[in-house]
Amino acid sequence: MKQYVVDAFSDRVFSGNPAAVCLLDRFPEDEKMCHIAMENCLSETAFAVPDGEEYVLRWFTPAGEIDLCGHATLATAYVVLRFAHPEWNSVSFNTMSGKLTVVRKGDLLEMDFPAYRLTPVPVTDQMEQTIGARPIAAFMGRDLLCVLDKEEAVRSCAPSEQALLALDGLLLHITAAGSDYDCVSRSFGPKCGIYEDPVCGSGHCHIVPYWADVLKRDQVLAYQASKRGGVLHCEMAGDRVRLAGQAVLYAASEIFVD
């Protein structure tokens, strides 16, 4: 089984968010894909199978399958357009979240994703104790989004895994206005088997709708302020979010499983 590791939302290795990508003729058993994801110990392992001129795409965290993942979709598009179909300018994936299309835009790959509907929720002492700063607003989509008043509070946040597990939502995203970017953010996901997701595409399907509304414009330049870091060129388009970034190949290997 051929596997590629791609650093997504970055133009250089050792930054952005690494994803493993397996291009296959057919999907292995779910249990085997779970084991491969656990063995890789990355935030996501993507499995893609051709379906006519499209691909069926599934994503697995070390804790199991997930319904939407941005950086692994970007990484899979990079692999398909570089190795499988270099003559294509776009690729479409059929996924648990519907059809997702990725288009070449110069040196960027632009993804068309669904935006999560954000419901305001009360700010709680539990949120403040977990984050180490009191949010000025909080919202629930698939994940919990907490808005902080200072960029430094986002960058310095170091919540405990146990405290994160006790919060509502699949992941926790924290965000604030940025000094060099429109917004900065961090994403934490111990429920998915990872402490922090270095650059979270699906998280920005929560973050971008919030900032587009606050800034009163569709274009948002976002920075994920994890240790690895990553830049996302974002645009609201109705109930969709366009997320664009670069990607770079770290490794190609062969997995020896039946």
Set out the domains of the chain in order of their start, with CATH numbers: 2-114+244-254 (3.10.310.10), 119-237 (3.10.310.10)
Across the chain, what does the average pLDDT equal?
97
Count Cα neighbours of 88 within 13 Å in the Cβ-side half-sphere: 18
Q: Span 77-82, mean pLDDT?
A: 98
Q: What is the model's pTM?
A: 0.92
Do the Cβ atoms of 21 and 46 come closer than 8 Å? yes
Task: Supply 131's token pair.
Answer: 């984050």
Rounded mean pLDDT, 178-198:
96
Task: Summarize pLDDT for 201-231 with one digit per residue, the tens.
Answer: 999 999 999 999 999 999 999 999 999 999 9
- Of the chain, the percentage scoring pLDDT greater than 90 comes to 99
Q: What distance in Å separates the CA atoms of residue 103 and residue 111, rounded to the nearest whole number?
A: 7
Q: How far apart are CA 159 and CA 177, in angstroms?
A: 20
Q: How far apart are CA 222 and CA 237, in angstroms?
A: 16
**pLDDT of 151 over the 90 cut:** yes
Rounded distance between C-alpha atoms, residue 52 and residue 2, angstroms: 20
Q: Largest Cα–Cα distance in the chain?
A: 54
Average pLDDT over residues 137-147: 98
Amino acid identity for residue 66 in this structure: I
How far apart CA 159 and CA 110 sit, in angstroms, is 32
Does residue 186 contact residue 174 with C-beta atoms inside 8 Å?
Answer: yes
Quick one: pLDDT band at residue 257, thresholds 50, 70, 90?
confident
Distances (CA, A) of 135 to 131, 146, 187, 194, 201: 8, 6, 15, 23, 22
- Chain length of the chain: 258
Q: What percent of the chain has pLDDT over 70?
A: 100
The burial of 86, by beta-carbon neighbours within 10 Å (0-12 exposed, 13-18 middle, 19 or more buried), is given as exposed
Rounded distance between C-alpha atoms, residue 164 and residue 72, angstroms? 23
Q: Has residue 258 got a pLDDT over 80?
A: no
H/E run at residue 112: strand 108-114
Each residue's pLDDT tens digit, 81-131 = 999 999 999 999 999 999 999 999 999 999 999 999 999 999 999 999 999
Q: Please say whether the beta carbons of 178 and 223 come within 8 A.
A: yes
Report residue 157: phi and psi, to 5°: -60, 135
| Predicted confidence (pLDDT) per residue in 43-71, tens digit | 999 999 999 999 999 999 999 999 999 99
The residues assigned a catalytic role are: 44
Spatial contact of 87 and 17, defined as CB atoms under 8 Å apart: no
Nearest of 64, 69, 55, 67 to residue 26 by alpha carbon: 55
Residue in 138, 203, 125, 200 with CA at minimum distance from that of residue 166: 125
The model's confidence at residue 161, banded by pLDDT at 50, 70 and 90, is: very high
